Structure 1
């Protein structure tokens, strides 16, 4: 049986250098447990709070 293991806000494409995260296309990275973990990107924009409070998919500043 297909079950969702996790669902996290994620960008569709990595940002270009200097690009602000507000300019990115956002969706959900959904992990399913079907024997082997399986990932799917769902093009449904998370709320600004969900994007701001995400645990992963962070933009790291370049020096």
Structure 2
């Protein structure tokens, strides 16, 4: 049986330097358990709050 293990806001492509993250194409990265674990990108935009409060899919500033 297919079950959702996790569902996180995720961008379709990483932002360009200085690009506003809220203007990116967003969706959900869904992790399913069905035999071997499987990931799927669902093109359904999360709310702006869900995007701002996400735990993953972040770019950390490069050390200078």
Distance 1:38 1:21 in 2: 26
Distance 1:24 1:60 in 2: 17
The equivalent of 1:53 in structure 2 is 53
Distance 2:31 2:42 in 1: 11
The equivalent of 1:29 in structure 2 is 29
**Structure number with higher strand proportion:** 1
The equivalent of 2:3 in structure 1 is 3
Distance 1:57 1:49 in 2: 15
Gaps of 5+ in 1: none
What number of residue pairs does the alignment pair up? Answer: 63
Gaps of 5+ in 2: none
> So what's the TM-score if we normalise by structure 2?
0.88
